[in-house]
A and B are shown apart, each in its own frame.
Chain A
Amino acid sequence: MSVSAAEARTATETPPSLARRSWKSVITPVVLVLIVVALLAYVKSQKLDSIEKANLGLGYILEKTWQHIELTVAGTILVLIIALPLGVILTRKGARYASPVVLMLANIGQSAPAVGIIVLFAVAWQIGFWTAVLALTVYGVLPSLRNTMVGLQQVDPALIDAGRGIGMSAGGVLAKVEIPLAVPVILGGVRTTLVLMVGNAAIATFINGGGLGDIVVAGINNQRPLVLIVGSGMIAVLALLIDWVGGLLTQLFSPRGL
């Protein structure tokens, strides 16, 4: 993959639309940052009671945001470690029969309520960050796995035949042809996983896993709408931001010429 992806990127021709696209792509983060600034400025302008002060300090918000990102990224990395190799294996000739079973399990992982999974894991194991990450992984593995499989399956069989026909090994065809061509679809799945993770990382708070969920729950329990709004607003901004990063990565790593 690395070989041909690198080649694709070093190709001399630059599509004329790229410059315009990158200009467009900065709009999203700029708007999101403006929203955060506006939110914080509004908090600053309000008279806060002691509960609100405890939950809305800038340092505290940043700390929780960072924890939230950690949860999301750790969960996503785990998902990638599981979903990508599994997706490749399940589309190989010998293992295709197993794919319905695995997909069913992944489906259960996603359709089971996230809160249920996270609490069950905590009961079975322990509370804290890593249990939350594990639960998020189970919850978020499906889109990445399914897209990896679909991405590989939709590669034109004639291209695989051409690859074998000119003397590439099965592994060579996978690395040079199948995976590069599946990259856009795979990254689409990863992007979905990331967004799912950001949303669901909020429930890590129930098992003391940290994250912006702490602020949201504090807002609900203490009936402080401002706290609730800041917490959920930050989650929403984070989700949009990560989706934007995902889009950028897809653009960057998708092979040229498609």
Chain B
Amino acid sequence: MSETVTDKGTTGVPIELENVTKRYSASSTGLAAVDDLTMSIPAGKIVVLLGPSGCGKTTTMRLINRLIEPTSGRIMIGDTDARAQEPNELRRGIGYVIQQAGLFPHMTVGTNISQVPQMLGWDKQRITTRVDELLDLVGLDSGQFRDRYPRQLSGGQQQRVGVARALAADPSVLLMDEPFGALDPITRERLQDELLRLQEELGKTIVFVTHDIDEALRIGDQIAILDKGSRIAQYASPAEILANPASEYVEQFIGSGSAMRLLNFAKVADVELGQVAEVAPGDEVTRVRETIAGADTAYALVVDAGRRPTGWVTSETIDGRDGTAGELSAPIETTIPARATLQEAMEGLLHAEYDVVPVTKANGEYLGVVSLGTIQQELSDLKERQKARRQERVSAGGDSA
């Protein structure tokens, strides 16, 4: 793995589980912890294994790095069969993060992080550089934290170091077993956000185990909801699971608050954004008037050369005045990032100076606008779908009777 390290870092590889079974009792009739699981995990995505305790989700994850040996089946990581590799070597190439970080208390933060590079035989200079780089990456000041012991760190800081340790040799796959389970809600949420930020940068293939539906919805690109024996009840994107739960089991898991969850987890980028008339800052007022007259709204958005929204011009404010759009516009104080949830978007809308707020990408680029109406539309769509599903179920039940 270490050979492939470049400035951009190793990005994820796909993982394929093919008919994987794990039985703990010797007899072939014994209940299987993982029962004939076939699942493909796309490269560079966060896939969450979600299920109640005892459903086999942790076992499934541990099969991937062979902390548990499968009874039968095949596990492919990228192009290589996991079982064809020496287990310890295999694990050095797979990041591993557990609950409460699992840092070695007798080693400094720096030594903890350098464990895998040491085993891979990196030279000292390279390890030191890498440790500093990783601490920066997870948001800890390397000078301040490198020589501290885990005990001197808060739970959240410890887990950051845990993530840094897992990333040390730049693995293409990261396994995370309820990594944020023991943290307080605020820290947990912050670390979830940071993981998403990191992932945007790194593009690893992450298998994330949790029993917390909210966490799954928040961070998963794909969620596999597992039933007993690690049987897949539904394997889909968070939005799809919220909108179209595949079975009553899944619906139970999501619980009754699907509308609230939709607000909490659906991203602004997922909904259909509105479009408004646009003008450039340098446009003369006559040009602006024309644009507004040609649109169905009484205002236009000023978008600069870098596609960043800078202000609003309304037909009222420019009435009888001279100058360019840039001079006449009321500056925009609130924009909503595309990554924000609908709930965050609502918060933003409530505090915004206008009813319509521009949505921007992470680099500030303008995407479209959102209003309370947009969100209301999304919720009523959800309601429609739920109604349709209920009717479907009733009619299906009628057929079988």
Q: Which residues of A approach B to under 8 Å, CB–CB? A: 4, 7-8, 11-13, 158-159, 161-169, 172, 176-177, 180-181, 255-258
> Which residue from B91, B105, B108, B151 sits with its C-beta under 8 Å from A167?
B91
**Distance of A254 Cα from B103 Cα, bound (Å):** 18
**Distance of A7 Cα from B103 Cα, bound (Å):** 16
Closest 5 CB pairs of A and B: A257-B149, A162-B102, A167-B92, A255-B106, A165-B96
Residues of A within 8 Å of B349, CB to CB, are none
Residues of B within 8 Å of A258, CB to CB, are 105-106, 151
Nearest A-chain residue to B89, judged by Cβ: A167
A174 to chain B, nearest CB (A): 13
4 further interface pairs, Cβ-Cβ under 8 Å (given A159-B105, A180-B106, A257-B107): A162-B102, A163-B104, A181-B106, A256-B149
Binary flags per residue of B63-104, CB closer than 8 Å to A gives 1, else 0:
001010000000000000000000011111100101110111
**Distance of A46 Cα from B92 Cα, bound (Å):** 74
- In the complex the two chains form, is B104's CB within 8 Å of A165's CB? no
Residues of B within 8 Å of A169, CB to CB, are 88
**Distance of A180 Cα from B67 Cα, bound (Å):** 23
- In the complex the two chains form, is B116's CB within 8 Å of A166's CB? yes
Main secondary structure of the interface of A (DSSP, over half): helix
B64 to chain A, nearest CB (A): 11
Question: Chain B: how many interface residues by the 8 Å CB criterion?
Answer: 32
- In the complex the two chains form, is B106's CB within 8 Å of A12's CB? no
**Distance of A180 Cα from B106 Cα, bound (Å):** 7
Of A159, A167, A172, chain B has the most CB atoms within 10 Å of the CB of A167
Q: Does B385 contact A (CB under 8 A)?
A: no
Q: Which residues of B approach A to under 8 Å, CB–CB? A: 65, 67, 88-93, 96, 98-100, 102-108, 111, 115-116, 119, 147-152, 165-166, 175
- In the complex the two chains form, is B99's CB within 8 Å of A4's CB? no
**Distance of A72 Cα from B119 Cα, bound (Å):** 41
> Which residue from B91, B99, B103, B149 sits with its C-beta under 8 Å from A164?
B91
Of B89, B90, B149, chain A has the most CB atoms within 10 Å of the CB of B149
B47 to chain A, nearest CB (A): 18
A-B contact pairs, 16 of them (CB 8 A): A8-B107, A11-B108, A158-B102, A162-B102, A165-B67, A167-B89, A167-B90, A167-B119, A169-B88, A176-B104, A176-B115, A256-B106, A257-B149, A257-B151, A257-B152, A258-B151
- In the complex the two chains form, is B100's CB within 8 Å of A13's CB? no
- In the complex the two chains form, is A257's CB within 8 Å of B92's CB? no
**Distance of A255 Cα from B107 Cα, bound (Å):** 8
Nearest A-chain residue to B108, judged by Cβ: A11
- In the complex the two chains form, is B107's CB within 8 Å of A7's CB? yes
Of B89, B90, B105, chain A has the most CB atoms within 10 Å of the CB of B105
Residues of A within 8 Å of B148, CB to CB, are 13
Nearest B-chain residue to A183, judged by Cβ: B106
> Which residue from B91, B108, B147, B152 sits with its C-beta under 8 Å from A165?
B91
- In the complex the two chains form, is A4's CB within 8 Å of B89's CB? no
**Distance of A108 Cα from B348 Cα, bound (Å):** 75
**Distance of A161 Cα from B175 Cα, bound (Å):** 13
Given known contacts A164-B67, A166-B92, is B105 in contact with A181 (CB within 8 Å)? yes
Of B88, B93, B107, B149, chain A has the most CB atoms within 10 Å of the CB of B107
- In the complex the two chains form, is B106's CB within 8 Å of A257's CB? yes
- In the complex the two chains form, is A166's CB within 8 Å of B108's CB? no
Residues of B within 8 Å of A172, CB to CB, are 119
Residues of A within 8 Å of B175, CB to CB, are 165
> Which residue from A7, A8, A165, A256 sits with its C-beta under 8 Å from B65?
A165
**Distance of A159 Cα from B92 Cα, bound (Å):** 16
Residues of B within 8 Å of A166, CB to CB, are 91-92, 96, 115-116, 165-166
- In the complex the two chains form, is A167's CB within 8 Å of B111's CB? no
**Distance of A158 Cα from B96 Cα, bound (Å):** 12
Nearest A-chain residue to B95, judged by Cβ: A166
**Distance of A169 Cα from B119 Cα, bound (Å):** 10
**Distance of A255 Cα from B99 Cα, bound (Å):** 23
- In the complex the two chains form, is B108's CB within 8 Å of A161's CB? no
- In the complex the two chains form, is A13's CB within 8 Å of B147's CB? yes
Residues of B within 8 Å of A256, CB to CB, are 106, 149
- In the complex the two chains form, is A165's CB within 8 Å of B107's CB? no
Nearest B-chain residue to A160, judged by Cβ: B102
> Which residue from A12, A158, A176 sits with its C-beta under 8 Å from B99?
A158
B65 to chain A, nearest CB (A): 7
Residues of B within 8 Å of A257, CB to CB, are 105-108, 149-152
B157 to chain A, nearest CB (A): 14
Residues of A within 8 Å of B105, CB to CB, are 159, 181, 255, 257-258
> Which residue from A13, A158, A168, A177 sits with its C-beta under 8 Å from B98?
A158
A248 to chain B, nearest CB (A): 19
Residues of A within 8 Å of B107, CB to CB, are 4, 7-8, 257
Residues of B within 8 Å of A13, CB to CB, are 147-148
Given known contacts A13-B147, A164-B91, A166-B116, is B96 in contact with A8 (CB within 8 Å)? no
